[in-house]
Amino acid sequence: MIKLQNRTYKIILLIALLVCILFPSIASGFWIRLLTSIFLYAILAQGLNIIAGFTGYAAFGNMIFFGLGAYTVGILMVKAGISFFPSLIAAAAVGIIVAILIGLPLLRLKGHYFALASLGAAEAVRQIMDNLIGLCGGAMGLTLPQMAGKPAQVNLYFYYLIFSLLLISFAATYAISKNRLGYALKAIKANEEAADAMGINTTLYKIVAWAISGLFTAMAGAIHAYWFTFIEPATVFDVMIVVKLFVILLLGGAGTVMGPLYGAFIFEGISEIVWSRFLNLHMGILGILVILIVFFIPNGLIDMVRRGFRLKTILDTIREEKV
């Protein structure tokens, strides 16, 4: 039964992969941009998932990496005349380095102390960017060069670029979940003191987790900057984006590989429908949705589906025994 379920799940994933690859050939520009946005949020949620879902550290300051990745690409392309892909690599390096530097002091904190400290760090970086007028444009923002080509070609380019990063981030998360790093992170989440007593270097593993999180978040920020061609501190360091990512994690399933993708699809889909039909009630309806998620599916949709499969297996076993 379990082998059959796994085989069915792999077939469904393969079909979904093929659909995503072929989707731009049959969809309009609106749907391509919407799916691209969903992929971008899934990458950001996966980056947060590594430090929050697997490790149990609520990193409300993860927008530090998103903003710095965006500004790294913006500064290098506008001020230094460097092309996009070398700038993207530099943004990834910045995400890793900054995560290590701020992780050394902050990851010694726990619980709400870490959450508040990371949030404070993000706000501090935002204020710094607001005042770097000569380099970053300050509060007026920074305009990046537009990519050459027709709008349809540009949309297609960013669709496949973000989709590629999505696949890489999920493959990396899957590899992490199956090796020593993933087991160590789960042990830290379960009981950090016990993990430390067992000889796990908890500080090192937490820093590695945040560095990986910073890598993917910074790369997503870099691509976002080039895609939208304009960035400002108020947008790329917006803490409400992190709140949205936590909702996506809760909806899909924190600490799972596919949870961020499922959560991003459902939440962004609902957001688009609600925003288009109930503009004035948009935030209120989404707030009610968050409350319902916390009350009825606190461990996410993946956990709910797994429970359903386990219940079905138990019922099937009972029926077989009766026969």
pLDDT tens for each residue of 58-83: 999 999 999 999 999 999 999 999 99
Reference 255, options 300, 205, 307, 293; nearest CA is 300
Which segments within 103-223 are labelled E, that is strand?
A: 142-143
Q: Which of 41-50, 111-120, 305-314 has the lowest mean pLDDT?
A: 305-314
Question: What are the CA-CA distances from residue 45 to residues 37, 189, 249, 254, 287 (Å)?
Answer: 12, 18, 7, 9, 19
Average pLDDT over residues 115-127: 92
Give Dmax (Cα) for the chain.
Answer: 79
Reference 110, options 152, 166, 35, 59; nearest CA is 59
Average pLDDT over residues 142-146: 91
pTM here is 0.88
Q: Which two tokens stand for residue 155?
A: 């949309």
Q: What is the DSSP code string of 227-245?
A: HHSEE-HHHHT-HHHHHHH
Model confidence at 55, pLDDT cuts 50, 70, 90, reads very high
Q: Which of 205-219, 223-237, 270-284 has the lowest mean pLDDT?
A: 270-284
Report the 10 Å Cβ neighbour count for 297. 16
Model confidence at 139, pLDDT cuts 50, 70, 90, reads confident
Q: Which two tokens stand for residue 299?
A: 């461990």
pLDDT at 70: 95
Q: CB–CB of 138/130 below 8 Å? A: yes
Average pLDDT over residues 226-231: 93
Q: How far apart are CA 153 and CA 166, in angstroms?
A: 20
Position with higher pLDDT, 6 vs 309: 6
